[in-house]
């Protein structure tokens, strides 16, 4: 059975119910002491106050997200600067990594190759900043259904290829999310290939009749993903860190009583993660 101390809950899972402070207090009240920080919530109060709240509740921060979003050709420099600020914020709140997603095609462009090249260029450009403050850049491929509007970076193989190319395993890791990789026929071999590069593990389920490309993720157990088998692959690859429940769910989980959501997560974590 999965040790409950490995449970992490991402703030975004209660996005519409709780403020930054309420979510940290809520997790602590339920005995959950690892979270991931949603940057919009961080900006409600600023990194210094957030850091104090996290310390007061003995909360470990697995990641700060979402970073990246660097594919716009016209906004590339501004996006890099924003990511530099984000790396500073991550260091201030003690986050282990900045979760880096690429961004979609943008600008009315059809040039997927160029958008991917800009993403890799951005990761490379941010390595010195990340290294200087000891925050990992956790590159997260998203499900390819979001290629147009959210992430041209969408497979684990691409993540591994980029890590090979960057040759900076001390500063660049891979964030693996069950929602994004479960369908991939190469998932087992690419997780094994990623090995110690895996710096964060996100869990949630794919609803068979999903209603939204981005905001209809399922609670573990409600969908079709064999989460325990993916977790076993990740652990065999050398990962032993938190399993972070990250659920974007505008129509369901964001509308429920937040304490009830956490109780359900804790139950499901034992059986379906």
Least spacing, CB of residue 3 vs Zn ion, in Å = 21
Q: Which stretch binds Zn ion (CB under 5 A): 17-25, 38-46, 146-154, 171-179?
A: 171-179
Which residue, 6 or 21, is less far from Zn ion as judged by CB? Answer: 6
Least spacing, CB of residue 228 vs Zn ion, in Å = 18
Q: Which stretch binds Zn ion (CB under 5 A): 46-54, 81-89, 196-204, 214-222?
A: 196-204
String marking each residue 85-124 x if it binds Zn ion according to CB under 5 A? ----------------------------------------
Q: Which stretch binds Zn ion (CB under 5 A): 44-52, 111-119, 198-206, 262-270?
A: 198-206
- For position 33 contacting Zn ion by CB under 5 A, the verdict is no
Least spacing, CB of residue 202 vs Zn ion, in Å = 4
Count the alpha carbons within 13 Å of 78 in the hemisphere toward its beta carbon.
Answer: 4
Least spacing, CB of residue 74 vs Zn ion, in Å = 27
Q: Give the whole-angstrom CA distance, residue 112 versus residue 132.
A: 31
List, as one string, the DSSP characters of the chain: ---GGGEEEEGGGGTTT--HHHHHHHHHHTT--EEEEEHHHHHHH-HHHHHHHHHHTT-EEEEEEEEE----STTHHHHHHHHHHHHHHHHHHT-SEEEEE-B-S-TT---HHHHHHHHHHHHHHHHHHHHHHT-EEEE-PPPGGGTTTTBS---HHHHHHHHHHH--TTTEEEEEEHHHHTT-TTHHHHHHHHGGGEEEEEE-B--TT---SSSBPBPTTSSS--HHHHHHHHHHTT--S-EEE---BTTTGGGS-HHHHHHHHHHHHHHH-
Least spacing, CB of residue 177 vs Zn ion, in Å = 4
Which residue, 75 or 241, is less far from Zn ion as judged by CB? Answer: 241
What are the φ/ψ torsions at residue 6 (nearest 5 degrees)?
-90, 0
- For position 177 contacting Zn ion by CB under 5 A, the verdict is yes
Which residue, 177 or 222, is less far from Zn ion as judged by CB? Answer: 177
- For position 202 contacting Zn ion by CB under 5 A, the verdict is yes
Which residue, 110 or 157, is less far from Zn ion as judged by CB? Answer: 157
**Residues in contact with Zn ion, total (CB under 5 A)?**
3
Which residue, 21 or 214, is less far from Zn ion as judged by CB? Answer: 214
Q: Which stretch binds Zn ion (CB under 5 A): 120-128, 176-184, 188-196, 206-214?
A: 176-184
- For position 244 contacting Zn ion by CB under 5 A, the verdict is no
Least spacing, CB of residue 108 vs Zn ion, in Å = 27
Phi-psi category of residue 31: left, alpha or beta, with phi > 0 → left and psi -120 to 50 → alpha? left
Least spacing, CB of residue 141 vs Zn ion, in Å = 10
| Torsion of Cα atoms, 259 then 261 then 267 then 269, to 10° | -120
- For position 184 contacting Zn ion by CB under 5 A, the verdict is no
Which residues form the interface with Zn ion (CB under 5 A)? Answer: 177, 202, 246
């Amino acid at each position: 059975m999965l040790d409950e101390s490995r449970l992490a809950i991402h703030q975004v899972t209660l996005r519409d119910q709780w403020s930054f402070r309420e979510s940290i207090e809520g997790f602590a009240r339920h005995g959950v002491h690892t979270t991931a920080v949603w940057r919009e919530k961080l900006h409600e109060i600023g990194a210094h106050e957030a850091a104090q709240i996290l310390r007061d509740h003995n909360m470990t921060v697995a990641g700060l997200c979402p970073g990246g979003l660097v594919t716009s050709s016209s906004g590339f420099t501004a996006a890099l600067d924003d990511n530099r600020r984000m790396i500073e914020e991550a260091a201030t709140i003690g986050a282990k990594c900045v979760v880096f997603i690429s961004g979609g095609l943008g600008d009315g462009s059809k040039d997927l190759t160029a958008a991917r090249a800009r993403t890799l260029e951005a990761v490379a450009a941010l390595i010195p900043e990340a290294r200087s403050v000891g925050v990992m850049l956790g590159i997260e491929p998203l499900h390819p259904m979001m290629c147009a509007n959210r992430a041209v970076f969408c497979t684990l193989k691409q993540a591994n290829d980029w890590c090979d190319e960057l040759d900076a395993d001390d500063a660049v890791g891979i964030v693996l999310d069950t929602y994004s990789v479960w369908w991939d026929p190469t998932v087992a071999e690419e997780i094994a290939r990623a090995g110690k590069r895996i710096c964060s593990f996100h869990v949630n389920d794919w609803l068979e009749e999903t209603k939204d490309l981005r905001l209809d993720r399922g609670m573990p157990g409600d969908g079709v993903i064999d989460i325990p088998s993916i977790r076993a692959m990740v652990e065999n690859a050398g990962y032993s860190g938190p399993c972070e429940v990250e659920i974007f769910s505008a129509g369901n989980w964001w509308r429920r009583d937040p304490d009830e959501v956490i109780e359900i997560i804790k139950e499901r974590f034992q059986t379906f993660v």
